[in-house]
Structure 1
Amino acid sequence: MMQFKEAIASERTALIFLLKLLILLCVVKTIFFIYNYQNNLGWEINSSREALRIFSWAVYYDLVCVALCALPFLLMTLLPIKNRVLLSVAAACSISLIVLTLILNIADIFYFPFHRQRADADLFYVLRNPFKNSGAVVWWILAGMVVFAILSATYFWKQYRLQMKAQQNAAPFLFSSLICCVVVASLFIGQSKKIIPTRPLTDVSSLQLPLTQNSLHSFLYSVYRSRESVIPQQQYMTSAEQADLFSPYKSNVRVANLPKNIVLFIMESVPYEFFDSSSKYKPLLPFLDSLKNHATYYNNAFSYSYSSNKGITAMLTGLPTITDIPLYHSSFANINKTDIGKLLEKRNYRSSFFIGDNYDDFGFAKCCNWTGIQHYYCMQDVPGYKKMEKHTMGLQDEYVLDFMQQQLQKTAQPFFATQYNISTHYPNDLTAAFALQTRNLSLPPAMKSMMYYDACLQSFFKQASIQPWYQNTVFLFCSDHWARPDPDHTTDDMVNSFRIPILVFEPGSNERRTVTNLVSQFDIMNTVLAYAGIKDSITSYGTSLLDAADTNRIVFTKINTAVYQAIDKNYVLGFNAEEGKALYCYEYKTDTARRSNLIKINNPSTALLDKTLKAFLQTASHQYLHKN
C-alpha cells in the first residue's frame, strides 16, 4: 500500500495536469451548453436523472479525449532509455492533439447552430469557402484562432517541461499511462460500441446528444469512417417486403406534352416561415408573394437534412446522403443513379448551373460534373466580377442573375438551368444600396437578405418575361435546407426545422394552387424530368410533383450521423440507424412540445412509419454497397 501511495505521489505532476485538462474541457462544454441553450429548447432536460445521464456521458467522452491526447507523451516515458529529444517530440504530439481538441470544441460552440451536430469530416469541404472572399470579421476570427493556438501551445509546452523535469530522475509515469490506456481501451471493449459517438442515444435524446460528445472524438471517428457508409447494412426485412414498402426505381406517370425549358432556383437557407403569411417572420416579398398568386405552392414540403451539400444532392439526384462527407466526394460516388444532365442531353437539352461562389466551393463543380450538367458558371465567369459587390460567400445575387439572363439568351431551347443563390446564406451580407434602403427596418439579417433576393428575382423576371423562351418555361423554387429566420428568438424542432418552401410557376398556365400534401426535396429531379417529357425508369427516392398527390405520403429526414426520421401527416418517428431501433414517436400537430413519446404504444401508424423507415434505410445502404 505504501508503495502504491509513493507511486501516486511520484506522478502527482502528471495526474494534476490530466485533471486540469478534464476540467478545461468541462468548462468549454458548459459554455457550449449555455450558448446553445435557448435555441435547443433548454436541451429538453426535465429531471435530475436526465441531467446525470448527460453529465456522465459528457465526462466520459471528455476523459477519453484527455487520455488520447496525453498518451503519446506518457507512453514515451515508459521507455527504458531516457531521451530528451524523443520526449520533446512526444510532448509536441500531445500538445498538438490538445490544441486541436480545444479549437474543435470551442469552434463547435458557435458552429453548432448551423451544422446542428458536432464536428465531422465535412469540415474539410466547407472550411476554405469563407476565407476565399471574406470580410474583416472572418480574418479576425482566423487571426484569433492562430493566436489562441500559439498561446495554448506555449502554455502546454511549459506544463510538459515540468513533467519532463519531474520524470527525469523518477520512475516512469506508469500509473498515469495505465489509467489513460484503460480509458481509451474502454471505447473498444465489450458490446456497447462506445467508439461510436452516437452511443449515448441509448440514454439521452437526439437533441441532448451533442452535450455528451466531444468534438475531437466525433471528428476523428468521422474521418475514419469517411470512406464508409455510415449506416450499417441491416436486413430488417426480406427484399420483397422492402420493395413493397419502398422502391427507388420510379417512372413518371404525368409528363409535359411538349418539353419545356426548366429553371430551378435553389434558395440558400430559406425557411418555410418566409413564405408563410401567418408567421411573424414573414418578410415583405413583393415579387415572390405576387408569384404565389399565379403558381402552385407546396406548404408541406420537407428538406432531407440541415446541410447544403446534402440538399443539392437530394434535388439533383433524388438520392439520400448517408455518408458524413458529401456523396460526390465519397468513395460511393460511383453509386447507381440517374444522371439528370446526361438524361436531358439525350432529349437535346442544354444544361447549366450558376452560382456566385468561387470555383468549386463546397465541391459544387464536382457535383455538377457528377450529375452530367454541361456548364458550370461561378463568380470568376462573370465579366468584371472583381469590381462588383461581394457577399462573404461570393458574388451578390443580382450580378449572377444578370449574367445568367445573358447566358440564357444565347442558349438554344430546350434548356435546364439552375441558379444557387448565396445572399441568404449567413452572415446575410447586403449590398451597400440595399443596406441603406433597409437601414430603418428592425428585422433580423436573414429576413433582410431574403428581401434583397426577392428584389433580385423581380429584376430577373422583368427581363426574362420579354424573352422568346419565357412562355415555354417552368420555374421551380426549392430551399436547400431550413435555417432559423431569427437566430435570437427561434429554436430547432424535429419537424419544423425541416420545413421548406417549394413553388412551381408556369407562365403559360397562370394557375394559383396550394398543395397541402407532404412533398420532399427528393421530388425535384423527378419533376424536372417530367417537365422534359421523360417517363423513363428513374432511380430516385422522390416522386414527380406532376403525379397524383399521395395523401398518405411519408417523407424522410436526417437529424445527424445516426438518427433518421419518417414523417407523415400526423406523426414523426426517430430511428437510430447505428443501433437499428426506434427512439421516439410524437403526434407533432397536437403535441407541439414533443412531450408524449408514443414509441412504446401499439399504434398502426407508428408501426407503419417504423417499417417504412427501415425499408428506406435498407434500400439506401444496399444501394451504396452494391452498385448493381
Structure 2
Amino acid sequence: MLIIKWSLLYDAVCVALANLPLFIFFLVTGKLLYNKFVKVSVLLLFTLINTFLILLNTVDIFYYPFHLQRADADLLYVLRNPFVNGTWNVLLTTLAVFIFCCCMAWFVYKGILKMIQSGTPVNHFLPTNILLIVFIGLFYFSGSKKIVPTYPLTALEPVQLPVAQNSLHTFIYSLYRKNETALPAANYMSSVQQQSLFSIHKKNNAGASSKKNIVLFIMESVPFEFFDSSSRYKVTMPFLDSLVNKSTYFTNAFSFSYNSNKGITAILAGIPTITDIPLYHSNYTSISRTSVGQVLAKNNYSSSFFIGDNYDDFGFAQCCKWLGIQHYYCMEDIPGNQQMEKHSMGLQDEYVLNFMQQKLGTLQQPFFAVQYNISTHYPFDIPKLYIDKNPKPSTTEPMRSMQYYNDCLRHFFADAAKQDWFNNSVFIFCADHWAQPDSKNIKVDEVGSFRIPVFIYDPGREKKVRISTPVSQLDIVNTVLHFSNFQDSMISYGINLTDTLLQPHRIVYNKINNTIYQAINDEYVLGFDAVEGKALYCYAYQKDPEKKNNLIGQSALPAIENIIVHIKAFLQTASNHYRNRGK
C-alpha cells in the first residue's frame, strides 16, 4: 500500500508540474486567451506535453522489465532498432500504443478545451501563482546549479523507488544530467587506503606462452540458468554442453548491469558505466582507459567485431572505434543480406557466423575477433527453417532461441576446426547481461539476476575445470590481453581469469540502477545506496536463498564490514576516475 500511495502522489505531482505553465498562462493572458490562434496553440502545446507524459509511462510497461528502472536518457540510444527491424509483433504493439496515445490525446484535448471555455476567475489562481513565482525566482537566481533529486524523501526503500517514480520526471532529469556521472563524488576514505583496497592500475602476472588467436563470443541476454544443470531452465544444447565439459567454466560469474550498452563497455574496456547514457556517448570518452584494439595492434594483432544488426545500432560501432578495434562488420557488410531471413534485431546468427568464418580465414595470425550474437535477444524470433526441422518442445521462447544459437555455433566450430588457425586459438564466452529465462514468469533476484555464463575453451588444452571464485565481466579484457602475451600495465576494474591467485572470497560489483550498487562474494550480497552513502541490505545468500534475513542493522559482522569498506573503495575509485578522467 505504501508503494501505491507514493506512486499516486508522485504521478499527481508530475502532472501538476507539467501543467503549471498552463495555469500561469491562464492567469496572465486575460482576454488574449480567447484569441483563436492563441487558444489553438495552447491546446496543441499542452495536449502534446500531457500525451508525452502518458506515452513515456506507457513505454515503461514494456521497457521496465529489461531495464529495471524508469525511463532515462539511455532510452534514446535503444529506440532505433525495434523500429528499423521490427517484426509484426513489435509493429502491432507500437501501433496499439500509438492508438492508445491518440485516444488519450483526444481526452486531454477535450479536457483543456472545456477548461478554457468554462473560464475561471483570475483571483482563484493569483495567490498560488505569486507564491510559485517567488520560489522559482529563489531557485534560479540563488547563484548555484541545482540538481533536483529524482526521489522524494519518503518512507520508501531505494530498491522500491523505481516502481513509484514517474517516467516523465526520471527521463527529463536524466536528460538534464546525461553528461554527468550518476555517481556523486565519494570521499569515504583516504586515497592511500582506497588504492590499497581497489586499484584500476593492473598488470597480468604472466602472459600466455605464445600469442593466441582470440575469439570472444558475447552472448546476448543469456542467463546462467541455461547452463545450470540444477535449473528448470537448463537448455538442451549438446554442442555447447560438450564444449563446456572441456573448458574452464566459472560457476559464479556476474554481469555489471542489466544493459547491453553497459555490458559491452564492461567486457571490452573493463570499465563500469556510471553515467545514465552509454559511456562511449558521454562527455567521459576521454577517460583514461586501455583501448584493447590499439594495445593489440602494437602487439601485431588485427581486431574485428561482427554483429548482425544495422551499422552502429546501440552505438556499438562508436564503442569499437573508441576502443581502437580496427574492423566493424554488420548486416550491411554481408553479401546477399537482403535475401537472408532476419531477426527483429537484424540478421540471424547463422549468417553472421558464416561470414565471420570466411573473414577469419583471410586474416593474418594472430587476430582478435568478437562476435556479438542477436538471435537470443527478445522477441526470440528464430528462422522458420529451424522451427520446421525442430518441432517446438516444451521450452520457453528464450530457451528455444538458445537452442538455435547452439546449432549455429556447432556449425561454426565444425568448420573452424578444419582451419590452420584453430589449434592456436582460444575461445572466450561471456553473456552481456542476465535476462529472464521465462518471459511469462518474471522473477528478479539480487544475486540470480546478475549471474551469467562465462567459460574459456582452448583446443590445445582441452580439460574440464570448474572455478567457483566470483568473477565478473570486468575481468574479460584482462584475460584477452593475457592470451595476447601482453605484460605491460593496463587500466581495468577486473583481473585476469587465468590467474592462479584468484581469491576464493573475492568481491565483484553490480549496478542495479543509478542509485544502488551491489557487492557480491561467495557468501554475501550487499546493496549500497551510493547517494546516501550507506548499506541498505546484506544477505547470506547461500544459507538464505530467499533473502529474508537482512543482516544490516544486526550485530556487526567483520565479514560484512569488510564488504562495506570494499564497495566504498570501488565507488570512490570509479567516482574519482570519471571526474578526473583518470588523471
* Fold-level similarity (TM above 0.5): yes
Match of 2:544 in 1: 591
Q: Which moved more, 1:447-456 or 1:204-213?
A: 204-213
Report the CA distance between 1:178 and its aligned residue: 4.3
Matches within 5 A, 1:108-119: 108-119=60-71
Match of 2:20 in 1: 71
Contact 1:299 1:516 in 2 (8 A): yes
Question: How far, CA to CA, are the matches of 1:80 and 1:289 in structure 2?
Answer: 72
Report the CA distance between 1:144 and its aligned residue: 2.4
Question: How far, CA to CA, are the matches of 1:251 and 1:319 in structure 2?
Answer: 15
Report the CA distance between 1:184 and its aligned residue: 9.8
Deviation sequence 1:318-370 (CA, Å, 0-9, x none): 00000111000001111110000000000000000000010000000000000
Match of 2:562 in 1: 608
1:220 counterpart letter in structure 2:
I
Deviation sequence 1:147-194 (CA, Å, 0-9, x none): 2333222221221111111227x4365069549949997x989xxx99
Question: How far, CA to CA, are the matches of 1:184 and 1:70 in structure 2?
Answer: 17
Q: Which moved more, 1:152-161 or 1:228-237?
A: 152-161
Matching residue within 525, 533, 539 for 1:572: 525
Contact 1:104 1:119 in 2 (8 A): yes
1:346 counterpart letter in structure 2:
K
Structure 2 residue 80 is matched with structure 1 residue 128: yes
Match of 2:394 in 1: 442
Contact 1:313 1:319 in 2 (8 A): yes
Classify the secondary structure of the residue corresponding to 2:461: coil
1:607 counterpart letter in structure 2:
E
Q: Which moved more, 1:432-441 or 1:362-371?
A: 432-441
Structure 2 residue 535 is matched with structure 1 residue 582: yes
Q: Cα–Cα, structure 1 residues 68 and 575, in superposed 2: closer, same or farther, change >3 Å?
A: same
Matching residue within 44, 65, 83 for 2:32: 83
Deviation sequence 1:214-236 (CA, Å, 0-9, x none): 11111111111101011111211
Q: Cα–Cα, structure 1 residues 60 and 183, in superposed 2: closer, same or farther, change >3 Å?
A: farther
Match of 1:517 in 2: 469
Classify the secondary structure of the residue corresponding to 1:264: strand
Match of 2:417 in 1: 465
Q: Cα–Cα, structure 1 residues 606 and 103, in superposed 2: closer, same or farther, change >3 Å?
A: same
Identity %, equivalent residues: 50
Q: Cα–Cα, structure 1 residues 72 and 447, in superposed 2: closer, same or farther, change >3 Å?
A: same
Question: How far, CA to CA, are the matches of 2:131 and 2:6 in structure 1?
Answer: 17
| Structure 2: runs of 5 or more not aligned | 141-145
2:292 counterpart letter in structure 1:
I
Report the CA distance between 1:136 and its aligned residue: 1.6
Classify the secondary structure of the residue corresponding to 1:522: helix
Deviation sequence 1:436-458 (CA, Å, 0-9, x none): 23333121110000000000000
Contact 1:255 1:531 in 2 (8 A): yes
Contact 1:167 1:173 in 2 (8 A): no
Contact 2:159 2:516 in 1 (8 A): no
Question: How far, CA to CA, are the matches of 1:372 and 1:610 in structure 2?
Answer: 36
Matching residue within 46, 49, 66 for 1:97: 49
Contact 1:77 1:172 in 2 (8 A): no
Question: How far, CA to CA, are the matches of 2:135 and 2:285 in structure 1?
Answer: 34
Match of 1:242 in 2: 194
Match of 1:532 in 2: 484
Question: How far, CA to CA, are the matches of 2:130 and 2:9 in structure 1?
Answer: 13
Classify the secondary structure of the residue corresponding to 1:503: strand
Report the CA distance between 1:600 and its aligned residue: 1.4
Deviation sequence 1:374-425 (CA, Å, 0-9, x none): 0000001000000000000000000000000000000110000000000000
Structure 2 residue 146 is matched with structure 1 residue 197: no
Query: TM-score, with normalisation over the residues of structure 1?
Result: 0.88
Match of 1:417 in 2: 369
Question: How far, CA to CA, are the matches of 2:532 and 2:401 in structure 1?
Answer: 41
Question: How far, CA to CA, are the matches of 2:147 and 2:538 in structure 1?
Answer: 25
Q: Cα–Cα, structure 1 residues 179 and 314, in superposed 2: closer, same or farther, change >3 Å?
A: farther
Question: How far, CA to CA, are the matches of 1:179 and 1:480 in structure 2?
Answer: 52
Matching residue within 562, 586, 609 for 2:515: 562
Query: TM-score, with normalisation over the residues of structure 2?
Result: 0.94
Q: Cα–Cα, structure 1 residues 389 and 367, in superposed 2: closer, same or farther, change >3 Å?
A: same
Match of 2:143 in 1: none
Matches within 5 A, 1:335-414: 335-414=287-366
Q: Which moved more, 1:354-363 or 1:66-75?
A: 66-75
1:438 counterpart letter in structure 2:
N
Question: How far, CA to CA, are the matches of 1:122 and 1:80 in structure 2?
Answer: 38
Q: Which moved more, 1:523-532 or 1:279-288?
A: 279-288
Matching residue within 422, 430, 450 for 1:498: 450
Contact 1:71 1:180 in 2 (8 A): no
Match of 1:7 in 2: none
For the aligned residue pairs, the C-alpha RMSD in angstroms reads: 2.2
Question: How far, CA to CA, are the matches of 2:545 and 2:151 in structure 1?
Answer: 26
Matching residue within 107, 118, 122 for 1:171: 122
Question: How far, CA to CA, are the matches of 1:150 and 1:396 in structure 2?
Answer: 35
Matches within 5 A, 1:142-181: 142-167=94-119, 170-171=121-122, 173-174=124-125, 178=129, 181=132
Classify the secondary structure of the residue corresponding to 2:119: helix
Question: How far, CA to CA, are the matches of 2:219 and 2:459 in structure 1?
Answer: 20
